[in-house]
A = this chain, B = another copy of it.
């Protein structure tokens, strides 16, 4: 089934030493022919005779987003030299699972904005958002079943269960003054990185790759997902709604225990204990509190420290690719790792 790993011990040629850039364009360009097929599949499979379903799904899916997860799945399959197109189905499935979680998250968090647009539940109502999320989740499994790959099904069904556990845990741990960095990593490993790793791992599986390559792409996805989420959480204290396409400050308002908050609370525990106790411990927030939190994050070095943690995960992601020959796919994925932490939106 697999002869792709015979060259893994070759010395890396010169091209591998090209310093990676914070650039996702090379990846997008390389994936473009595949993504045309994936996007067609996404549009085809979100259809339903029940008109509200494609309307609501299109609102979110057409708004785009980065399509990072399907890109990952495609790139993993291509890096492993696939000779089939199972990664089309898996990529569409991964995007459906992600979209379903966004729809449900926005209901759970009562979010106002998503991808720069009014959140779907505010237009079609929370019930429709819940049910259309369920629909997309079911359709994701239909797409996976068509590949005939029980292993890919296993990876993505396990990831789906892990994601929901991470989201419930995050919900339980909101407004928790005592959350640790380890708790936080556990939460984002589940709620975010599990789907990144499942996307890249299942892409490798669909390509019939060897175990060491499958494992390498799992590790790449996991560490990339951690880096990506930490940077997301940094941006929530750094950016504005216009930059992010969602509400900056949402995490603070929801008492979401993200790394910037954990590090800032730790660094300013002695000087600003009363502020954190009121705004997070007692959930009493007033106008100006978010700005004060932002200022404390900058002055305490918490944002810089969080960025450094993100960079370390991005570096681990890059390192996981070392078993692959140098080439455009590996280079593009290395660039993505740098981009995940250097991006400002």
Contacts and interface: CB of A to CB of B under 8 A. Distances in A.
From A53, A132, A134, residue with most partner B Cβ within 10 Å? A134
Contacts of A165: 48-50, 53, 135
A138 B150 contact: no
A124 to B, nearest CB: 10
Contact of A168 (B126, B132, B150, B168): B132
A161 B48 CA distance: 10
A164 B138 contact: yes
Given A104-B134, A127-B108, A134-B104, A141 B168 contact: no
Number of identical monomers bound together in the oligomeric complex: 2
A185 interface: no
Counting chain A residues whose Cβ lies within 8 A of the other chain, the interface size class is 35 or more
A160 interface: yes
A190 to B, nearest CB: 9
Contacts of A153: 141, 145, 153
Interface string A141-177: 1101100101001100110110111011101100000
A interface, over-half SS: helix
Contact of A128 (B48, B128, B135, B168): B168
A172 B50 contact: yes
Given A131-B104, A141-B153, A150-B145, A53 B160 contact: no
A139 B141 CA distance: 12
Given A50-B168, A150-B150, A130 B130 contact: yes
A108 B144 CA distance: 28
B134 A108 contact: no
B139 A161 contact: yes
